[in-house]
Copies of this chain bind each other. A is one copy, B any other.
Amino acid sequence: MAKQPNIKFVKNAAGRIVPTIVNGISMPPFKGVNKFRPDRTMASPKVRSCIDYPSDGNKLLPNLKEALKKCGLKNGMTISTHHHLRNGDGLTNILFDTIKELGIKNIRWFPSASFSCHSYLQKYLEDGTIHHIEGSMNGPLGQYASEGKMKGMGVLRSHGGRYRAIQDGEVHIDIAVIAAPSADAFGNANGVSGKSACGPLGFALGDSEYADNVIIVTDTLVEFPCVPWHIQGNNVDYVVQVESLGDPEKIVSGTTQVTKSPDRILIAEYIAQFVEEAEIMKDGFSFQAGAGGINLAFLLLLKEKMKSKGVKARFIRGGSTQYLTEMLEEGLTDYILDGQAFDREGVCSLKRNPHHINTSPFTSYNFHGKGNFASMLDVVVLGATEVDLNFNANVVTHSDGYLLHGIGGWQDCLFGKCVILAIPSFRDRVPIIVDSVTTLCGPGEMIDVIITERGIAVNPLRKDLLKKLSTSSLPLRKIEDIQKEVFEICGGKPAPPKLDKNKVTAVIQWVDGTLIDSVYAVKE
């Protein structure tokens, strides 16, 4: 990696050091929650004309290579992909094989997220086909970046932040390559039909609206119209049919797994009891549920409580799973508002149930819209890799400094009315409640409750919650006390990460596009 001599750094409102220029683009430092107002107009794509598109609506090209050529692929372009195929994605690797074959270099790869299956692309980071990655790096590619090997800086954005960056014109996409489990030759596409059915395609929505060139790649071509059109053909330039988009078994799991760990089940029980005693669980309430083991266990417990108290939710935000769809079918919620489907039953329900609604980062998370859904949630349950005594949290790096996770919708969800972090108090004998998070992703003022198997810490800012819980049987404790206990169990504080503070390998954006923290290379 080149040295970074010309980059200036500043201390942001959270006390973190961040660069002022990232990959040549000026980015403001974090100013505090709700302190930064944008002063710009939205991205303004070139006006197109039907003259330049086939009047019969047939935009099919024989293969991806032809499509990339037609898009005028050049060195240094920005190419986006999306993670709705998750670890079953077979397209992105083929895409970069094709780019390599065409002799193109220095691509800015702008995925909504990358997974282990994309470790294949490390060779293209090494040979200069890919200059750098702007997007969540789960696993191997995050590790690669952490080792200081990536040429440019990584930019990590939340799902909402990514939509915002596209909409705001902060990231100009030259070519969006959208994997579509079902599409017609005009480019209308969805993720609910076809052998690679994955659920919503919302992660690709912004790209389809603002990219210069949009290529739909599908392994299930249907006659026009492909309905529903999660992606609208009116935004699409070319359509390519391929044999397979990837491995259906890894695109969605057959079933999602509830945790069997006693500690995690205990955490789930605490969450459910908390939500009930804090009087959040009441008729017409709403919550966000993920697909993690604790979350699913919590969901099943909450479901029983709702049934026994006769409480019905107005809506549940997914990541949908079979557990969520069962609640919809049993009448425990009016709607599922779904951003991604984690298992097969989630996909099927989205396809068949008109109360299971497709959403996107635009509707749910975009902070630069006229409001979004995230702040309307009564309660959200999230995870974290670390939290500190001020409730600040980290979701991207581990305590050893390695960047191994993306932000997902995590930052966006912090705007919910009650934000609960559900975390085991230590992992692999590494305490999770630290003195200072390795990487700051979410300001403590937005995090209301931390629930561990050793007790529950309510943010002192939430006097209302503390009052409601004043007679509770729940193990409410000071966060400092939980930390102390865990330090004793684990033999002290976690070892400080060995970071090269002169080498920023990635930056973390806040939802408004300001920089909330830097990720540093780990010394070998």
Q: Are A376's CB and B223's CB within 8 A? A: no
- The reply to whether A59 and B371 contact each other, CB–CB distance below 8 Å, is yes
Q: Does chain B have a CB within 8 A of A442?
A: no
Contact yes or no, A370 B234, CB < 8 A: yes
Closest beta carbon of chain B to A338's beta carbon, Å: 12
Q: Convert A284-324 into 0s and 1s, putting 1 for each residue whose CB lies closer than 8 angstroms to a CB of B.
A: 10000000000000000000000000000011000000000
Q: Would B315 and A225 count as touching, CB distance under 8 A? A: yes
Contact B41–A376 (Cβ < 8 Å): no
Q: Cβ of A49: which chain B residues have Cβ within 8 Å of it?
A: 36-38, 367-368, 512
Whole-angstrom distance between the Cβ of A217 and the nearest chain B Cβ: 16
Interface assignment of A143: CB less than 8 Å from any CB of chain B: no
Closest to A34 in B: B51
Chain B residues with CB under 8 Å of A43's CB are: 44
Tell me if A47 and B167 are in contact (CB < 8 A): yes
A182 on the B face (CB < 8 A): no
Answer whether residue A224 sits at the interface, using C-beta atoms and an 8 A cutoff.
Answer: yes
**Do A357 and B234 contact each other (CB < 8 Å), given the known contacts A42-B44, A51-B37, A187-B370?**
no
Chain A 219-239, CB within 8 Å of chain B: the 1/0 string? 000011101110011111100
Question: Which B residues are in CB contact (< 8 Å) with A229?
Answer: 363
Residues of B within 8 A of A50 (CB): 367-369, 371-372, 375, 415
A371 contact from B53, B168, B375, Cβ within 8 A = B53
How far apart sit A31 and B168, CA to CA, in the bound complex (Å)?
35
Chain B residue contacts of A362, Cβ below 8 A: 232, 234
Determine the distance from Cα of A357 to Cα of B55 in the docked complex, in whole angstroms: 21
A376 — nearest CB in chain B belongs to which residue? Answer: B57
The answer to whether B57 touches A371 (Cβ under 8 A) is: yes
Q: Does A402 contact B (CB under 8 A)?
A: no
Report the nearest B residue to A56, measured CB to CB: B376
Which chain B residue lies CB-closest to A374? B50
From B44, B52, B224, contact of A376 by CB (8 A): B224
Q: Is the Cβ of B45 less than 8 Å from the Cβ of A45?
A: no
A residues 12-47 touching B (CB-CB < 8 Å): 34, 36-47
Residues of B within 8 A of A454 (CB): none
Partner of A375, one of B56, B373, B376: B56
The answer to whether B371 and A234 have CB atoms under 8 Å apart is yes
Expressed in whole angstroms, the Cα–Cα distance for A306 and B455 within the complex equals: 70
Task: Judge whether A355 is part of the interface by a CB distance below 8 angstroms.
Answer: yes
Q: Mark A92-126, 1 if CB is under 8 A from B, else 0.
A: 00000000000000000000000000000000000
11 A-B pairs (CB sep. < 8 Å): A44-B44, A55-B371, A59-B371, A224-B376, A227-B354, A227-B355, A232-B363, A233-B370, A233-B371, A234-B366, A235-B369
Q: Which residues of A contact B (CB under 8 A)?
A: 34, 36-57, 59, 167-168, 186-187, 214, 223-225, 227-229, 232-237, 284, 314-315, 335, 337, 354-355, 357, 362-363, 366-373, 375-376, 415, 417, 512
